[in-house]
Amino acid sequence: MPTTNKFDFIKPLYRKLFLGKNTFLFDMDGTVTLTEKINFEAYKSALKTIANLDLNLNDWGEIFSGRKPLVSISEYYQKQGLIYDQILLDSILKEIKLKKDTLLKTTQIDVVKGFHQFITELIKNKFKTALVTSTVKEYVETIARNAGINSYFDTFITAEDIVKSKPDPESYITAMNRLKAKPVNTIIFEDSLSGLKAAVKTGASVIKVGEPQIKFKEVVLVIKNYDELSV
């Protein structure tokens, strides 16, 4: 079991939340990498180009963020009361991929402030770590390499590893099983509404990362970035 001195890099105010924890799971977009804007722009552009629909940030946060494309697009059409078929969905997905490929090739991927230092301390103290995302493996590898985070994690959970996307907890449960971790010893870092719902369902402690627009009372802590945790 982790001892107090292993968390000396955590500010005393928050250190109690980390005692007894040995596994740390991180969502990717918005939690580790600043790629949420890229995803939003790719979806917004594709929906406008193919279907002349205007995706807004509210619908993005409630329906799309942190979820598989096919599931979220279908739900979006249902919410709008619009008719769709597989041909239309395939066209939108193809356009999203084209736009996202372009953006990833032309955009420098940054990480949330303080993340490099924070996870370096976790690794130094031999804690278990995983990156857990609904993004496909191809994009995860590109983003991780671009952002310089590909060597930080013991395992990666991507869209190919799961059947049900967030808010279903399958991705986080899969990560814990792979790392032989228990919820009581795990902290999950998340930013999206669907991701927070998934994380809480696992029984692990959950820390919300990012701006506080999304209110979620079940989290143990809300931080804007990782510098708020580190001494």
Please report, for the chain, the start and end positions of each structural domain, with discontinuous segments joined by +: 4-34+111-228, 36-106
Average pLDDT, the chain: 94
pLDDT tier, 59 (very low <50, low <70, confident <90, very high otherwise): very high
Sheet containing 186-190: order of strands: 155-157, 128-132, 23-26, 186-190, 205-209, 221-223
Bridge partners of residue 25, in order along the sequence:
130, 188
Least confident interval from 71-85, 110-124, 213-227: 213-227
pLDDT tier, 28 (very low <50, low <70, confident <90, very high otherwise): very high
Distance CA 102, CA 28 (A): 19
Average pLDDT rounded to a whole number, residues 51-70 = 91
pLDDT at position 65: 86
Using left for φ > 0, alpha for ψ between -120 and 50, and beta otherwise, residue 66 falls in left
Average pLDDT rounded to a whole number, residues 192-206 = 95
Q: Are 176 and 44 in contact (CB under 8 A)?
A: no
Distance CA 32, CA 134 (A): 14
Tokens of 16: 């109690």
- The CATH number of the structural domain formed by 4-34+111-228 is 3.40.50.1000
What is the third-level CATH fold of 36-106? DNA polymerase; domain 1 (1.10.150)
Reply yes or no on whether the pLDDT at 68 is more than 90: no
Reply yes or no on whether the pLDDT at 3 is more than 60: no
Least confident interval from 3-7, 11-15, 122-126, 151-155: 3-7
Reply yes or no on whether the pLDDT at 124 is more than 60: yes
